[in-house]
Amino acid sequence: MNADEQEQERAREDLMIFLGTIVRPGINPSTFDDDINLIDIGVMDSLAVIQIISYLEKNYDLDLQAGGIDPSDLGSVSGILSAIKRAKR
């Protein structure tokens, strides 16, 4: 595994820990496919998206307005990881 892949895996692990604190109680986000929209299936709500935005801004210095990221992309693990990857470029 190269350094970029290790960094992505670490970002995913950290994200899963964070998501576990904001999804509905009793739900483990790592049991879902990364491409499933967690909002659409009722695991997260709009407040969770705001918390994700705050998480990204705090941990990755990601400015969603400046970066042109659509908050609707933040409903899935793969969408959030893509936003993190773009922010690191």
Report, as an integer, the average pLDDT of 65-79: 81
How many structural domains does the chain have? 1
Q: Work out the pLDDT band at 68, boundaries 50, 70, 90.
A: low
Kindly report the pTM of this predicted structure. Answer: 0.87
Q: Which domain holds residue 41?
A: 3-87
Q: Work out the pLDDT band at 89, boundaries 50, 70, 90.
A: low
Distance of alpha carbon 14 from alpha carbon 51, whole angstroms: 14
The values of phi and psi at residue 39, to 5°, are -75, -45
**The predicted structure's pLDDT at residue 10:** 94
| Strand, helix or coil for residue 4 | helix
Give residue-wise pLDDT tens across range 17-60: 999 999 888 888 889 999 999 999 988 988 998 999 899 989 98
Residue reference for tokens 């895996």: 9
Closest CA to 22 of 60, 54, 48: 48
